[in-house]
Structure 1
Amino acid sequence: MSETQTRIDRVGDETAGELLTLRRAAFVTEAQQYGDPHIPPLTQTLHELRADLAREDVVTIGAWDGHRLVGSVRVEIDGQKATLGRLAVAPDQQGHGIGTQLMWAVLPYLPEQTTEIWVFTGKDSRQNLAMYQQQGYEEQFDKSAGDLTYTYLRRILGEAQARAASADTTDD
């Protein structure tokens, strides 16, 4: 992906069809890993996606390489808590840092009162778990939904800055 052409911005209704295609392409591997072609990102309809994009408590941002949507993430805001979901990167663009860029790019879209960000992924999705942990998310609990077990991870906003400030004052 070209650095000069990369643009991260909010995804609107006019891009809903492209977003649906991106998510389906990105989540096929996950569905194959779990042997379940009926995971929610693969069964969501265009009508449901458009309704989700219209929600006031949901922000969906995307990464574009030129005119092509190559990644996206959805964040649902609930009081002081934000929940990331449907982090998707085009299969031919995975491993280039787009997912990480998107995780950081959501921060300016969060209300000031947001204190924590949650994310969940399949318990056996080792690569996803490692990526989230590298970005400061810590495992909290597992929860089963049908035949799938999800691992929920949380990142406290400002925690790293608070630790750094605490270390600075103890060094004096």
Structure 2
Amino acid sequence: MSEGDQIRIDVVGTPDAGELLTLRRAAFVSEAQIFNDPNIPALTQTLEELVVDLQDDDVVTLGAWMGHRLIGSIRVGIEDGKATIGRLAVAPDQQGQGIGTQLLFGVLGYLPEDTKEVWVFTGQNSKHNIAMYNKAGYEHQFDQVAGDLTYAYLRKVLEAGAIIDDEDDVEDGAARSDG
């Protein structure tokens, strides 16, 4: 990513479902290799299942675009003052350039005002992901076994005004290249 490349964060709609599915599959291959499991949910979800997910009123999926190309995405489930982040994906050729961090902070501007906490989960062995979440203010809470995988769950408690403050930073174009 060069200096002149602008990243646009916006909601992903059903017309972008095919591109989103392709992005997620490309991004999650490395996770599958870490866990030696090609059947992780991000790799087995069908296009039809993804479209249903994109149409769910309790889910917000954001994308990071560079020009017309979708280079990153993040999914947020919203329920009773709690948001749960999952499926954070960045195109393999764009990883390590802060796009995941931009998406993490970008999510905050799309949460309902009554959101008190944001949870994220990732594979326990995904050390890079856990480090990125820690840097963004998420703290490890517990691990949970699901089949052959163990997930680490991290939480960020939102303080009054935190969503608005972070949203202003993103809209002002604050570059976050620490992820």
Q: TM-score, normalised by structure 2?
A: 0.87
Deviations 1:21-58 (A, max 9, x none): 00000000000111000000000000000000000000
Q: Does 1:48 align with 2:53?
A: no
Shift of 1:4: 4.6
Shift of 1:117: 0.1
CA distance in 2, matches of 1:13, 1:143: 32
Structure 2: runs of 5+ lacking an equivalent: 163-179
Name the residue aligned to 2:11.
Answer: 10
CA distance in 2, matches of 1:50, 1:67: 20
In the alignment, residue 45 of structure 2 is paired with which amino acid? Q
CA distance in 1, matches of 2:111, 2:7: 22
Secondary structure of residue in 2 paired with 1:112: coil
In the alignment, residue 63 of structure 2 is paired with which amino acid? G
Deviations 1:111-131 (A, max 9, x none): 000000000001111101100
Q: Flag the structure with larger Rg.
A: 1
Where relative contact order (Cα < 8 A, 6+ residues apart) is larger, the structure is 2
Secondary structure of residue in 2 paired with 1:55: coil
In the alignment, residue 19 of structure 2 is paired with which amino acid? E
In the alignment, residue 77 of structure 1 is paired with which amino acid? I
Name the residue aligned to 1:148.
Answer: 149
Name the residue aligned to 2:137.
Answer: 136
CA distance in 1, matches of 2:77, 2:135: 22
CA distance in 2, matches of 1:4, 1:89: 16
Name the residue aligned to 1:164.
Answer: none
Q: In terms of mean alpha carbon deviation, does 152-161 or 110-119 score higher?
A: 152-161
Secondary structure of residue in 1 paired with 2:96: coil
> How many equivalent residue pairs?
161
In the alignment, residue 83 of structure 2 is paired with which amino acid? A
Q: Does 1:84 align with 2:85?
A: yes
State the 4+ residue runs in structure 1 displaced beyond 4 angstroms.
none
Deviations 1:117-148 (A, max 9, x none): 00000111110110000000000000000010
Secondary structure of residue in 2 paired with 1:106: helix
Shift of 1:92: 0.3
Name the residue aligned to 1:22.
Answer: 23
CA distance in 2, matches of 1:71, 1:88: 5
In the alignment, residue 54 of structure 2 is paired with which amino acid? L
In the alignment, residue 79 of structure 1 is paired with which amino acid? D
Structure 1: runs of 5+ lacking an equivalent: 162-172
Shift of 1:5: 3.0
